[in-house]
Chain A
Amino acid sequence: GLLAGLRLLAVGVFLSSCFGTVMFSDLSVQKDGSSLLCRPASDDQGPVFERMSLTYTPCSDHFKVGERSFSRQYAHIYAARLMQMRPLLTERALQKWGSDVVIRRLCDLQIGEQCCIVGTLFKRMDLQPSILKEISEEHNLLPQPARAKYISDVDELILEDELQRIKLEGKIDRDKCVTGSVIAIYGAERNDGKFTVEDFCTADLPMQTPRPPFLSLSRFVLLASGLGLGSSRADSMLGLQLLIDMVTGQLGDQGEQSGAATISRVLLAGNLLSQNTQDKDASTKAKYLTKKTQAGSVDAIRLLDELLLQLVASVPVDVMPGQYDPTNYTLPQQPLHRCMFPLSSVHPTLLLASNPYQAAIDGVKFLGTSGQNVCDIQRYSSRDSHLEILEETLRLRHLAPTAPDTLGCYPFYQKDPFILEECPHVYFSGNAPVFESKLIKGTDGQEVLLVTVPDFNSTQTVCLVNLRTLECEPVTFSAFSTDDEESEMNISH
């Protein structure tokens, strides 16, 4: 009713076409004499555009947590991480500084000797919130303020191996590094017990299986994140409905509809619900006062189910949970439970996935998260660009180096599942402030498309990845801007 009415007034799907060969915007461009303005050609239904279905292999098994034991300490995850990364970094160190470089453990370190050490970085940060600080200063306790950045000038960078640690100085940018990264450093220990770094290296990109050769047809995967249902901003719903209508082919003329048919899969990268659905009352108020109140997320999940129903009836959809979604908080986040989606979960096209997400779509390997790992590194380093941080995690060969230090994480002991064992073709993170993408090439011929998927609620933007060319373009939905609405209101009064 209301939405349909509005759609007639203000519909604009802006496809920003730029460089490249076949972009989505080229496929769905309106042909001369738009068919919408003509009399229907005949009484029959018109052409049917078949959506191309692609082979799909989920590879997220190592992000599923079977047994849930919380009796272990986090020492195991750091130990396993170093065990897994040490051989890789030793190899890189030999490549970079020559095969005659001396690789030492910290316990065998000689003062003044030029050598290489493999270890885990630890950044001691004064501003890092700590529960121990609060307990020890319990007398006149001041709550530690939430900050955008927790770095300061007195931070110290320390390298740890299995037994010892050493303070680092020299040619390594303290503010850019984060706790938990495994690196190799080259330099020498000085008399004062600090290590002067001359150079350092990361594990860099893992090996990649080449993409399968494609037919000439372009197929697209649509990435979106941060739908933010249940937020106070009601106007965001129009953009969302436009998105669904575009994907399901209910928008535009035959050209646009045939374009929509090339979207073979939709991936929703977290924060389907808005932060507003997490009411703080439940944890602070007494139970008997909140007994009869309904959780804020109930209505939002119901709405999500209805929206998903429209999508899954037409296209396969992967749903990843994010920071504000009703699943576990610690990474890896387990898939949302299907009982929350009574309408859409009957369709086999709804795939409830884990966060991080890993799958091969028609042979193209996707790997990504809903953005918590990137946001956490942003808080604990001087880096600001999500794309830059995303690339850095790929170079470190680790999805979430700051877990478990400042990012919640399950206490694994056998293996660290966040270490990248194979190079993905598309590496993304969700809930970014802006859309950015970049194609990087590795030294062993790897080709990776990095994408920061923007928060839909604030940007009304999603992105389309071309599986054939690994190109990526944003699609922005714009209805009434708030300014228009206000001016219109003014006129009518």
Chain B
Amino acid sequence: MTTKHRLITDSFKVVKKARRGGKQEKRATPPPPQKDAESEAEKEELQKLKQFDLDWRFGPCTGISRLQRWERAKLHGLNPPEEIRDLLLKTYTDPEYNFSLWSEYPL
């Protein structure tokens, strides 16, 4: 996955609230991206972090922060990429960077 697919909700904001439970919940739309122009660099960074999330060698990614997952991989000698850590430390206030791809979804 190299290009980010544009979603219909990027152009048209979600008005209806997602219904509780069932299938609806599973397909809940990801949060609409910030209004202010998302720079290419930022996109690329987030893409890298998603790739990190999807790397099975570092174990499951739900329920813990990306940094916690990185540190676990480091602890067990799995050599996680250093640039991910630098990126995470730089952006530690931003929840979009801190938490995994699936963090918006209920467990």
**Which residues from chain A sit less than 8 Å from chain B, CB to CB?**
71-73, 75-76, 79-80, 83-84, 87, 162-163, 413-415
Contacts and interface: CB of A to CB of B under 8 A. Distances in A.
B64 A87 contact: no
Contact of B75 (A72, A73, A163, A415): A415
A162 B58 CA distance: 9
B68 A413 contact: yes
11 contacts: A73-B63, A75-B59, A75-B62, A76-B64, A79-B59, A80-B72, A83-B76, A83-B78, A162-B57, A162-B59, A414-B75
B77 A87 contact: yes
B78 A76 contact: no
Given A72-B62, A87-B77, A162-B56, 9 more contacts: A73-B60, A73-B62, A73-B63, A73-B107, A76-B59, A83-B78, A413-B63, A414-B75, A415-B72
A72 B72 contact: no
Contacts of A414: 68, 71-72, 75
Contacts of B57: 162
A71 B100 CA distance: 14
A219 B57 CA distance: 49
Given A80-B59, A162-B56, A414-B71, A72 B64 contact: yes
A220 B59 CA distance: 45
A71 B63 contact: yes
Nearest to A76: B60
Contacts of B59: 75-76, 79-80, 83, 162
Contacts of A87: 77
Contacts of A75: 59-60, 62
Contacts of B60: 73, 75-76, 79
Contact of B56 (A71, A73, A84, A163): A163
Given A71-B107, A162-B56, A414-B68, A84 B76 contact: yes
Nearest to A82: B59
A79 B56 CA distance: 10
Q: Which among B56, B57, B59, B77 has the greatest number of chain A C-beta atoms within 10 A?
A: B59
Nearest to A415: B75
Contacts of A83: 59, 72, 76, 78
Nearest to A163: B56
A79 B57 CA distance: 9
Contacts of A415: 72, 75
Contacts of B56: 162-163
A421 to B, nearest CB: 13
A52 to B, nearest CB: 40
A80 B72 CA distance: 8
Contacts of A72: 62-64
A451 B93 CA distance: 51
Nearest to A70: B63
A87 B77 CA distance: 10
Contacts of A73: 60, 62-63, 107
A116 B90 CA distance: 42
Nearest to B64: A413
Contacts of B64: 72, 76, 413
Q: Which among B60, B64, B68 has the greatest number of chain A C-beta atoms within 10 A?
A: B60
Given A162-B56, A414-B71, A76 B76 contact: no
Nearest to A413: B64
Contacts of B71: 414
A80 B63 contact: no
B98 to A, nearest CB: 14
A71 B107 CA distance: 8
Q: Which among B62, B76, B78 has the greatest number of chain A C-beta atoms within 10 A?
A: B76
Interface in B53-91: 56-57, 59-60, 62-64, 68, 71-72, 75-78
A442 to B, nearest CB: 24
A163 B56 CA distance: 8
A75 B56 CA distance: 12
A80 B76 CA distance: 8
Contacts of B63: 71-73, 76, 413
A72 B107 CA distance: 8
A414 B70 CA distance: 10
Contacts of A80: 59, 72, 76
Contacts of B78: 83
Interface string B37-55: 0000000000000000000
Q: Which 10 pairs show the lowest CB-CB distances between chains A and B? A: A79-B59, A72-B63, A83-B76, A75-B60, A414-B72, A413-B64, A71-B63, A79-B60, A162-B56, A76-B60
A77 to B, nearest CB: 10
Nearest to A107: B56
Contacts of B107: 71, 73
A83 B76 CA distance: 6
Contacts of B62: 72-73, 75
A472 to B, nearest CB: 36
Interface string B93-104: 000000000000
Nearest to A69: B63
